[in-house]
């Protein structure tokens, strides 16, 4: 909504679109098109007197589910006895588990 208001403020400053009463019908059509496009297509693209405005609806994804203790990988071997070039995650798990 902030970008839409900035679009109309800039349109007014540059073309005096809002203050000209002859544009009232066009303004209503523009606002209706924006509303219907965002509701039906999740995006809109308009052009008014050489100025363009594009927007789309961004849906927020839900938080991931809680991971249970039984779903976390556990090192089953003695990692000190087996020299190996461990991946970054395993190195960080080893660093935490050996420091406590």
Q: What residues are paired with 56 via a beta bridge?
A: 43
33 in any annotated domain? yes
The pLDDT of residue 88 is 84
Domain range for residue 33? 2-56
The answer on pLDDT for 6 being more than 70 is yes
Q: What is the largest CA-CA distance in the chain?
A: 83
77 has a pLDDT exceeding 80: no
Whether the predicted pLDDT of 87 surpasses 90: no
Mean pLDDT, residues 37-60 taken together: 92
> Does 51 lie in the same domain as 29?
yes
Q: What's the total number of domains in the chain?
A: 2
Q: Does residue 43 sit within a domain?
A: yes
pTM of the full structure: 0.58
How large a percentage of the chain has pLDDT more than 70? 87
Residues 13 and 52 in one domain: yes
Q: What confidence score (pLDDT) does residue 97 get?
A: 62
How much of the chain exceeds pLDDT 90, in percent?
A: 53
CA dist., res. 94 & res. 75, Å (int): 9
């Amino acid at each position: 909504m902030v970008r839409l208001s900035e679009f109309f403020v800039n349109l007014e400053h540059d073309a005096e679109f809002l203050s000209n009463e002859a544009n009232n019908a066009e303004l209503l059509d523009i606002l209706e098109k924006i509303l219907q496009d965002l509701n039906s297509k999740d995006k809109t693209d308009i052009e008014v007197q050489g100025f363009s405005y594009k927007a789309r609806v961004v849906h927020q994804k839900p938080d991931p589910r809680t991971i249970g203790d039984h779903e976390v990988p556990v090192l089953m071997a003695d990692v000190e006895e087996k020299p190996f070039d461990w991946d970054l995650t395993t190195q960080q798990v080893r660093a935490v588990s050996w420091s406590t």
